[in-house]
Structure 1
């Protein structure tokens, strides 16, 4: 027994040593990843450097603009006295070579006439070497402009730059040019660049150190948790993350808050969507019910107040009250049906001969509009599982939509047959096509919305409340079917299609129907009504 125990202990130790060696090898081969602290520190450093760079650039640009502005003001202030000194020097009077007031040492004055420089003098202190004169162009695209300060280079190609100003005098066609060296300006800007760079670098180092310290404080709980997890992973199973510690509480609180917020957000969005649908439904329903109620109230008040006393007027008002009451009752019934379908209440599911329903509704449509060119191709004995009154309402609403939106002489075509869906299963397909006004693409996207009417200019008595096709869609989908609508565009009519799964009537029935897809069965020619037949 002792030998067996020793063997087991040795095997455990061997496996642990191999696991440790493998872990160390994986650690050596593993590519180092940047820590969160490093990422945050780099981000802070980049943002601070960017901000300091922008500030330095703005300071440099502002000072440069200010110095040039002051230099230009100096040129404009001293150009008059400079012109007088130049003329005196040019004429050989006393004062030759003297520096006018406020003209910096090393400046140049020149007189131009006839498109060339005729006289040039350097304003320097006695015993001082004069620099290279400015390169002044009097013609061409780079010619100096009168009364417009311009930066020019030295004529000998050196790096000295001058700020030159040219003015015209009243003495003939003579131009006086004063050029002040920009040496002092550039020296000031260079010193500014050095100072701001050193200050920015110092601030950057200080802020990085401060950021490192603050980030370290903020991430200290994560560091302690990582250290504890590392110790546990190395085999020190005595280490624990203390339940009372700040680290554990932060993690638990974050997890709890994230879960709670996600749940609350989902519930709020769900509730807002539900309330939005309910508000729109109530607003639309109230709007639609207000019209018949207003008519009923108006005619009732006319009768009550005695404003109409003739029997025929009273009869007409009563007839209008009855008509509006019937319309309001129908609207309420449609709303209740939609509400029931929205709540997914079970409908009657019986074997229904859909062919008989379609044929009966088409026959009723012919009675209502005997002059409409109506062509019907109805395959017999197509059975579906569903609620017969509701399926009848589907076909009736489609035919009612046809009557509402097309004139009586508009041709229509009704086809009922069996086809196959995308999986190859047999389904019955009802399509009602007309050659009426048609619909635009935008209208097609909204036709199944509740209370939507493609032609808002129609009155409610002419165009209905806009619930017909919504009911068609809801009822069809409650029977596991689908409804669709297509149109070639305005003036090209529409086609409304309803697809329903057929009832299982035996192994041969579906195959017989599929053998005559989209066409009547043999021996059953299309049924035609109206003058178009």
Structure 2
């Protein structure tokens, strides 16, 4: 259990998964490929259509020349069935009122094949206004010109097979060229975008390194900056880099101002707490001295002296806690000795039992030794504060179990109870200073204050952090657990500042 909430996973409605956004590299590459494909198809289509139109025009000219050659004679003349002057792929047919229609298709120079009645009907069904495409059964597509006269009609056609073959060949060539251009365009786009986005990647790397800095505590300086080459405002990436540098500068200034303010507050609290120790001790001493005089004091005076003495004790404890936090904030006085935790925990639980015998206490620990590197006095304070917090906020009869166990290179201390639990809204700020379950700071009049000051768990968290450890809380009604994880061997000793004068 931790004191931080995990971000909730986002799910799409009806179980659908949201589509991942496209990166700039993918968008540019796909855009270039789409543009190359569009241009390739457009250029190929225009070129193929233009070539086909040109070939058809040349074919029409040939049909026209053959028609005029044949029209030199009368339509009723005998057709040249085996003439070598007529090329292959030519069809010629005549229609006369007396003899009907007849015609030939020339498969090779000097070789002719007579047309069928169906082919003749298809041939003479062509328009007489100009050359047109006609599909002849069994022969394919032809470019046909029909000439009509009063004594008959002449139909001349030339096969479009060569035109079709050339057209499809050119279309295939353009398809292969376009496919190759798509591959080269995709490779080139990926390479170009990779080179073009390198400055942006370096800006991103700078921002990523900044996110890894510990800005909540310690040194607040931000040494990371976008390199000058990527912060030139004359380029788009440079504008982003320059803006990020300005933002980092403003953040650093804000962090420095915040640190100075916090240092002033900590120093004020430390100085004020230190200065309050002497007058508080004097108040308590004079109260005790007044109670011990031989003269008989009125009951109201005795009650007032009791209140003065108890409040001075409480304020002295508060001042000591504030001083302890000030020392921990400055890393002062943390020893680096070998601390045996089993005996330390056992002694602390024994003291807690003596102070709260109406609770059920249990220790679950291995046989000693179980040691960590740290400060014995402050680690004892951690255990004492956790136990005091557990029995102070739980009713009589609550079972409190302290568990100590080794976990790899760490030692885990758990204080669990079956009390009413910690309010959910309090758990995230449980280890903050002056965090208390009751919002009011009022004390019951006429009795010693037993409520907490809100500093005990803050001291626990500070001591654990000073030992490079972690602390977490998990609580539901009937099961509250505070877990402290301490490394057995600290990586490095912290440099402490000068001790505060007593």
- TM-score band w.r.t. shorter chain: 0.3 to 0.5
Q: Which has the higher helix share?
A: 1
Whose relative contact order is higher, 1 or 2, with alpha carbons under 8 Å and at least 6 apart?
2
Name the TM-score, length of structure 2 as normaliser: 0.41
Name the TM-score, length of structure 1 as normaliser: 0.39
